[in-house]
Amino acid sequence: MGSMSGKVYSLDAATGCVHWRYDYRGGARASMSIGKLASAPSGHALYLADDRMFVRALDAGTGKELWSTQIDDHKVGRVTGSPALHDGVLYVPLSSSEESQGNTASYQCCTFLGTVVAIDARTGKTIWKQAVLNEKPRPTRKNSAGTQMFGPAGAAIWSAPTIDPKRGLLYVATGDSYTEIDNPASDAVVAMELKTGKIRWVNQVLANDNYVTGRINAPLGDMGPDYDFGSSPNLVKVGGKELLITGNKSAIVYAMDPDTGKTVWESAKLGSGGAGGGVQWSTATDGKIVYAPLADNPARGKPGVVALDAATGKEVWRVEAPRGIPCNVPSGRCAPTFSQAVTAVPGALFAGSLDARLRAYSEADGKLLWEYDTATPVDTVNGYKQAPGGSLDMGGPVIAGGQMFIHSGYGGSAGANNLLLAFSVDGE
């Protein structure tokens, strides 16, 4: 597991004891990828991408660095989505925090474009680099402080690429535009060729969703609703055909043809959506049902979990977020909304909420199977007494070897309340 403090840990899955630790400058929000590598002493490499856009390969057995490379130098660029490893190539999505620079008068906003970088997993050398928009930002106007503005910009990729070996493609979902200059790849799903990065097709579901926080560098005209895609596309076989299915912050789930990008169906608007609403992080699917977490504001939206028919997008069942439950999150980040990615296994769906509750629902009908408050103080295996967890957000539960692992405490932004919790089937 990685951390925002610039440390990578190798933990014993059964006990939580530390095998090794690797320290570096920076922090990591993205999950890591592991693959076979003949040149690694253990035979396996661990691939890490961070908030300074460095990508590193570590020996999985010892944590020794095998190579390190910086794949971009944008001043506010970062890697949020997990790199995807396929056939000796690491596909790394690039995102940024440029959307948050709206009140920095001296900042020349905006120049970042969502990009995928393909890296040789053996050497760290770049094979190709492709922005989702084949147009570089250009000078446009000056803000009220006289600082030069640029555009087009945006369409950040803050989820993992989806690999399609059969078609030789990868698919990424993009965020909103940062400027008033037309960006036809924002709020879109984009298909690229695995070998070259060449863009095969783009399906933009909402044009002119121009958004940055703050007013000084805000886009001209009306600000958009901030309907980013933060969810990786699911490649699902439905009957005799395949569909790409994903949702965004509009609270709508879309299914597209992977050959052409054409929209096959879109769901009803499942909630209010918005900057902090709709589908924030990834959906899950068992091939028949698509499970969408909704992070809507409880005061005006419909936070909860919705199950949709993968063939039609029709609602199968819905679970509303419980209201009025005591919240133990030390930071006070207590909204009962489902922002975190959900995880599905045969028979159960696991969903975490900002108020730190982890719940298991029946895949069949949404019936609550069990729940656990991850903010409950516990004595940890590394010696902390009564350490609390925090909000559940971003990456969802990981399940392997009969155990489930979940990080309680969102992305380093919720104070010192950060725990890694391990669950077993029998609860021991």
- Residue 411: its pLDDT value, please? 58
Q: What are phi and psi of 99, to 5 degrees?
A: -60, -20
Nearest Cα to Cα of residue 351 among 403, 409, 291: 291
- Residue 74: its pLDDT value, please? 96
- Residue 417: its pLDDT value, please? 66
- Residue 416: its pLDDT value, please? 56
Q: Which residues of the chain have pLDDT under 50?
A: none
What letter would DSSP give residue 100?
G
- Residue 428: its pLDDT value, please? 56
- Residue 425: its pLDDT value, please? 82
- Beta strands in 275-365, from DSSP E residues, in sequence order: 284-285, 289-294, 304-309, 315-320, 343-345, 348-352, 357-362
- Residue 409: its pLDDT value, please? 86
- Residue 3: its pLDDT value, please? 85
Distance of CA 201 to the CA centre of its chain: 22
pLDDT digits (tens, 9 = 90+) for 38-85: 999 999 999 999 999 999 999 999 999 999 999 999 999 999 999 999
Nearest Cα to Cα of residue 409 among 426, 384, 95: 384
Q: Which fold has domain 231-428?
A: Methylamine Dehydrogenase; Chain H (2.130.10)
- Residue 427: its pLDDT value, please? 60
- Residue 379: its pLDDT value, please? 95
- Residue 174: its pLDDT value, please? 98
Identical topology for domains 71-225 and 231-428: no
Q: Which fold has domain 1-66?
A: Thrombin, subunit H (2.40.10)
- Domain borders along the chain are 1-66, 71-225, 231-428
The strand pairing partners of 78, in sequence order, are 95
Q: Would you tell me which CATH number, out of the four given (2.40.10.480, 3.40.190.10, 3.40.50.2300, 2.130.10.10), belongs to the domain 71-225?
A: 2.40.10.480
Instruction: Report percent pLDDT > 90 for the chain.
Output: 87
- Structural contact between residues 174 and 132, judged by C-beta atoms closer than 8 angstroms: yes
Residue 230 CA to residue 361 CA, distance in Å, equals 23
Residue 393 CA to residue 336 CA, distance in Å, equals 11
pLDDT digits (tens, 9 = 90+) for 320-332: 999 888 888 888 8
Nearest Cα to Cα of residue 261 among 154, 188, 160: 188
Residue type (1 letter), 359: R
